[in-house]
A and B are shown apart, each in its own frame.
Chain A
Amino acid sequence: MLLIGNCKIIIAVLYDCRGVLLFSQNLANNVNKKLSSFFLQGKRRGDKIFYIVTIGAAAYTLLMLALIVYTVGDGSQKIFSFEGIKFFTGTNWNSVEGRESFGALPYIIGTLISAGIAVAIGVPISLGIAIFLSEMASSKISTPLSFVIELLAAVPSIIYGLWALFVFRFWILNLIEMPLYNAFGQSIPFFGVTPFGLDWFTAGIVLGIMIIPIVSSICREVMRAVPNTQREAAYSLGATRWETVRIAIFPYAKSGILGAAMLGLGRAIGETMLVTLIIGNAIGAAAIPTSLFSPSQTLSSLIANEFNEASSDLHLSALIGLGAVLLIITMVINIAARLLVSRMVKVSAGVKE
């Protein structure tokens, strides 16, 4: 009896224990769940905060562009309502109070023409370098040479300006401008101004030299990305090296090269200090390049020259207006270049499939 009773008690106790055990297990489970869900929540919360921080940084980038467009637009409002369309067509630039008149045409012309020379000189040379590096040279020559050229892309433009002002200007003056002036100066008015080396022609050439490193290294990358099978196919059919480049490389690399040229054009248009040092800084109608050797002015160099001496709000607004014109030109070029390059990437991705 006793035994049975004891057993019953023991069983009951055991049962209870089991209950307690179960309970405690439940509790532990619950706690565990709660704890883990707490940690999980913490994990999610931390991730969420991190996500929001990164998205904020991305939004900051867009915000800065919006700030640029808004500030420049807002700042130039005054001059656009003062001059209207004449701001784009006028040639007079006078900041004297009471006689204010601001026309940006000479500087728009100066900007486009010097950048045009830069591209006409810089891009063919860059293409030649890219062809040499990717198609002709052995890797023993091309690796260090591309290394040096990429390194030169980091040289600040003010140093190009310094070199142009004290060294290169005299090369141009003695080798190109003086002979041309002596030969044609009397007969053709286009060569009729006594050259000093400080003119839009020199500025364009130096801008061309400045864009060589960046344009040629992009062109080299683009041409190297052309699959080797294309080269081999052309060579195996008996094409010479130039014919291979022309029919196998260029069709593939065309939009990439065009994009690189546009990038170079954008750089040349926006460049300031180099131009300020060597373009001669003419003002008003005199800045319209009538002769190869006449000093001129670009949008950015005029801003740099006059910004800190702006005499009135209207003068300041006129300079900001020049910035607005510059912003529009470079934005259009950039967007066109990006669309071209992204189209090329799509085409080459389609081919790789």
Chain B
Amino acid sequence: MLRSRGENLQEGPRTNYKERLQDIMLRRSSRRRLVDKVVSISAIFSVILAVILLGSILIEVVINGARALSINFLTQPPGAIGSGLGGIGPAIEGTLIVVGLASAIGAPVGVLAGIYLSEFAGNGIFPSSVRFFSDVLVGLPSIVIGIVAYLSLVLTLGSFSVWAGALALSIIMIPIVVRVTEETLKVVPNSMKEAGHSLGIPKRTIILHIVLKSAKSGVITGIILAISRIAGETAPLIMTILGTDLFFTSLTGPVDALPLRIWRLVSQPYQYAHDFGWGAALILILMVLGMSLGLRLLAHRRRFKIGTIAA
């Protein structure tokens, strides 16, 4: 055992720093210091660059978006193209409906599959392949998933529909929730499960009421991360819910969505449409960032509470 561990260490990253440093040490120390300075400065420079670029996105969205905001903008359907009237009411409503439906499908399936991976499955072929392929699924382009939803639902049902959009978004959502749930449930200490077993509680009750409950905040984090990811998806919506100027009527008809509306507005050659696009972007960014920001603050407060109890 010991020998194999030693070998393991040597096979891993090299640890003989003395040897590796020796030829560096032979160089002039002024040059070494210069290289160190250059690297440090370029690291700081890249941070500043990223802060400027990413900060510029947020600032532009807030400044340009705030100009468009009004009660009418938030509640009215879009007016005739070029009229400068109307708003993005159907888009807000549509985003809430499609994302809500997708989460209603995706979250339970994802959590249950995560429970299977962490509580029932070992390292057999089936669970390993579920793990591996849900990782692969996370990285697939959303437009391909949109094509699949189009071919399997839109073509068979004969119309663009909320269902097709929700199916596409739920496929994007599930693998994220699966992996986060599995990772979170694995961290729950075994002693808690054993305490449940020793009281003769059925396994499903142990999982649902003890394991899942103590891992609640982690699982919710995963779900909200996934929701904020699908709320901004545009590509799969083009070929599933299509987009419309009307408010929601039925689950089997087309609806509008914020990202889709932004795209349509930006493609119009009118200044007011571009302003509306910025306004819609502000609403979308508020929804997405508001969700993850609120979540993080909540998690932070909880950690703080646990910290004070432990202290």
Measured CB to CB, the residues of A under 8 A from B are 43, 46-47, 50-51, 53-62, 64-65, 67-68, 71-72, 74-75, 124-129, 131-133, 136, 145, 147, 149, 151-152, 154-163, 165-168, 209, 212-213, 216, 230, 233-234, 237-243, 245, 247-248, 251-252, 254, 263, 266-267, 269-273, 276-277, 300, 303-304, 307-308, 319-320, 323, 326-327, 330-331, 333-335, 337-338, 347-348, 350-351, 353
> Digit string of B43-65 for contact with A (CB within 8 Å is 1, else 0)?
11111011001101100110010
**Which size bracket describes the interface of B in this complex?**
35 or more
B145 on the A face (CB < 8 A): yes
Cβ-defined contact, A129 with B47, below 8 A = yes
Closest beta carbon of chain B to A253's beta carbon, Å: 9
Cβ-defined contact, A167 with B143, below 8 A = no
Measured CB to CB, the residues of B under 8 A from A are 5, 8-9, 11-15, 17-18, 20-21, 24-25, 32-33, 35-36, 39-40, 42-47, 49-50, 53-54, 56-57, 60-61, 64, 108-110, 112-113, 115-117, 119-121, 126-127, 129-130, 132-145, 147-148, 150-152, 171, 174-175, 178, 202-204, 207, 225, 228-229, 231-235, 238-239, 242, 259, 262-263, 266, 274, 277-278, 281, 284-285, 288-289, 292-293, 296
Cβ-defined contact, B56 with A163, below 8 A = yes
Cβ-defined contact, B116 with A55, below 8 A = yes
Closest beta carbon of chain B to A125's beta carbon, Å: 4
Q: Say whether chain B's binding surface is mostly helix, strand, loop, or mixed.
A: helix
Cβ-defined contact, A157 with B39, below 8 A = no
Cβ-defined contact, A154 with B235, below 8 A = no
User: Which chain A residues lie closer than 8 Å to B225 at the CB level?
Assistant: 154
Choose among B12, B61, B143, B281 the residue with the greatest number of A CB atoms under 10 Å from its CB: B143
The residue that A128 contacts in the complex, of B15, B42, B148, B228, with Cβ under 8 A, is B42
Q: Assess A54 versus B137: contact at CB under 8 Å? Given A243-B21, A251-B14, A252-B13.
A: no
User: Which chain A residues lie closer than 8 Å to B50 at the CB level?
Assistant: 125, 129, 149, 209, 212, 216
Q: Assess A155 versus B235: contact at CB under 8 Å? Given A47-B204, A60-B174, A128-B47.
A: no
In Å, the complex CA distance between A242 and B274 comes to 46
Closest beta carbon of chain A to B113's beta carbon, Å: 4
The residue that B127 contacts in the complex, of A57, A58, A247, A300, with Cβ under 8 A, is A58
In Å, the complex CA distance between A243 and B39 comes to 10
Cβ-defined contact, A125 with B238, below 8 A = no
User: Which chain A residues lie closer than 8 Å to B43 at the CB level?
Assistant: 128-129, 131-132, 136
Closest beta carbon of chain A to B269's beta carbon, Å: 13
User: Which chain B residues lie closer than 8 Å to A237 at the CB level?
Assistant: 17-18, 21
User: Which chain B residues lie closer than 8 Å to A62 at the CB level?
Assistant: 129-130, 133
Closest beta carbon of chain B to A348's beta carbon, Å: 8
In Å, the complex CA distance between A74 and B174 comes to 24
In Å, the complex CA distance between A216 and B20 comes to 27
In Å, the complex CA distance between A300 and B238 comes to 12
30 contacts between A and B (CB under 8 A): A56-B112, A58-B127, A61-B175, A75-B151, A128-B45, A129-B47, A151-B296, A156-B232, A156-B234, A156-B284, A156-B285, A158-B284, A159-B285, A209-B50, A209-B53, A233-B17, A237-B17, A241-B40, A248-B17, A266-B139, A267-B139, A304-B143, A308-B238, A319-B147, A323-B143, A326-B144, A330-B139, A330-B141, A330-B144, A347-B13
User: Which chain B residues lie closer than 8 Å to A125 at the CB level?
Assistant: 46, 49-50
Cβ-defined contact, A270 with B32, below 8 A = no
Closest beta carbon of chain B to A128's beta carbon, Å: 3
9 extra A-B contacts, CB within 8 A, seeds A50-B203, A61-B174, A68-B171: A53-B112, A54-B112, A61-B113, A71-B148, A162-B262, A263-B139, A308-B239, A338-B132, A353-B8
Closest beta carbon of chain A to B186's beta carbon, Å: 14
User: Which chain A residues lie closer than 8 Å to B292 at the CB level?
Assistant: 151, 154
Query: Top 5 nearest A-B pairs by Cβ distance?
Result: A156-B232, A270-B141, A128-B46, A57-B112, A54-B116
Cβ-defined contact, B289 with A154, below 8 A = yes
In Å, the complex CA distance between A242 and B32 comes to 9
Chain B residue nearest to A339 (CB atoms) is B132
Cβ-defined contact, A54 with B234, below 8 A = no
User: Which chain A residues lie closer than 8 Å to B113 at the CB level?
Assistant: 54, 57-58, 60-61
User: Which chain B residues lie closer than 8 Å to A157 at the CB level?
Assistant: 232, 234
Cβ-defined contact, A243 with B117, below 8 A = no
Q: Assess A57 versus B202: contact at CB under 8 Å? Given A154-B229, A156-B259.
A: no
Chain A residue nearest to B228 (CB atoms) is A154
In Å, the complex CA distance between A161 and B264 comes to 13
The residue that A71 contacts in the complex, of B132, B152, B238, with Cβ under 8 A, is B152
In Å, the complex CA distance between A152 and B54 comes to 8
In Å, the complex CA distance between A323 and B262 comes to 24
User: Which chain B residues lie closer than 8 Å to A263 at the CB level?
Assistant: 139
In Å, the complex CA distance between A337 and B135 comes to 10
In Å, the complex CA distance between A167 and B46 comes to 20
User: Which chain A residues lie closer than 8 Å to B20 at the CB level?
Assistant: 247
In Å, the complex CA distance between A319 and B130 comes to 29
Chain B residue nearest to A56 (CB atoms) is B112
User: Which chain B residues lie closer than 8 Å to A65 at the CB level?
Assistant: 133, 136-137
The residue that B109 contacts in the complex, of A60, A162, A239, with Cβ under 8 A, is A60
User: Which chain B residues lie closer than 8 Å to A327 at the CB level?
Assistant: 140-141, 144
Cβ-defined contact, B263 with A273, below 8 A = yes
